[in-house]
Amino acid sequence: MVVITFLGSGAAIPSVWRSLPGILVTHEGLNILMDAGEGVQLRLQEVGVSPLRLTHILISHLHADHFNGLLGLIATMQLLNRVTQLTIIGPAPIRDWLPDLPFLNVIELHESSQERVIIGSEKFEIHYITAYHNLLDNAYSLLFKKPVGKFNPRKAKELGVPIHLWRRLHMGESVRVGNRLITPQDVVDNVGNPYIKVVYTGDTAPGDNVIAISRSADVLIHDSTYLDDMDMNEVHKLGHSTCIDAVNDAVKAGVNLLALTHVSYRYGMDYWNRFMSCAVPRFPRSIVALNGLKIDLAPS
């Protein structure tokens, strides 16, 4: 199961209602943190995740509200004598901001109008594309391999596949039996989407790049800094989106669930109702991120 936990969903200035950006995505030993705003260590403690368990940190862009918690997090790992590799991915020149430590594997990203693969393995993939902000911002797509359709033991037996290889086929891997390559499609009744897909835009105005990387996502976590009480053109010049912008991108991309995040400090404790009232009539499968909100995504 893929679990998304919102550690913070605010913008620029922390409030008692919303911490600064941080989203934890977990799946089978992977603990991926997307953005690391101020206070992210405390939020991780609240959900019971040690910094030593983090496997990847993805930084969308180098504005302070998305980045200020990273150095303290790394310092804690160093104090705890971390030795396992931590992969940090972010826009250039993120490497210049980070200490030179043996457990850090830093991947710098440059502007790209095409979706590109950063990490690809049999278990999961991380893709990115450049979004629309007032400095380089990466929108990320996380793809977690899932069983492709309903496994049919009869088909596996007819093909002579040993029982100990069935799980690999069920999880979407091909296996070799003698001189023959058996694919998952050979032993399932219905082949569906092979991935659980989670997309995070970082800070962005709406646009084609965001829609492209979000196609058919199970969850799209989209910048929704403002309601429609702001001039939309001014919002876009700042490199942000309104609630309606996020809904429009979600509809065009054909996503299953839209999660609104990065809510401006201007909105007080009634923000949840106001943003839900904006989004749900236009896109019923919408939610507004709250500190500690969890989304469980089970393979279907």
Catalytic residues: 65
Q: What share of the chain is helix, strand, coil (3-state, %, to 5)?
A: 25, 30, 45
The pairing of strands 138-145 and 195-200 is: antiparallel
End-to-end CA distance of the chain: 10
Taking the C-alpha atoms of residue 23 and residue 25, their distance in angstroms, rounded to an integer, is: 7
Determine contact, residues 287/249, Cβ cutoff 8 Å: no
Beta strand spans in the chain (E):
2-8, 22-27, 30-34, 56-58, 86-91, 104-109, 116-120, 124-130, 138-145, 175-177, 180-182, 195-200, 219-223, 257-261, 286-288, 294-297
Report residue 66 CA to chain centroid gap: 14
Taking the CB of residue 66, how many other CB atoms lie within 10 A of it? Answer: 27
Taking the C-alpha atoms of residue 207 and residue 210, their distance in angstroms, rounded to an integer, is: 6
Rounded to 10 deg, the angle between the 243-253 and 271-279 helix axes is 40
With vertex at residue 196, the alpha carbon angle to CA 191 and CA 202, rounded to the nearest 5 degrees, is 145
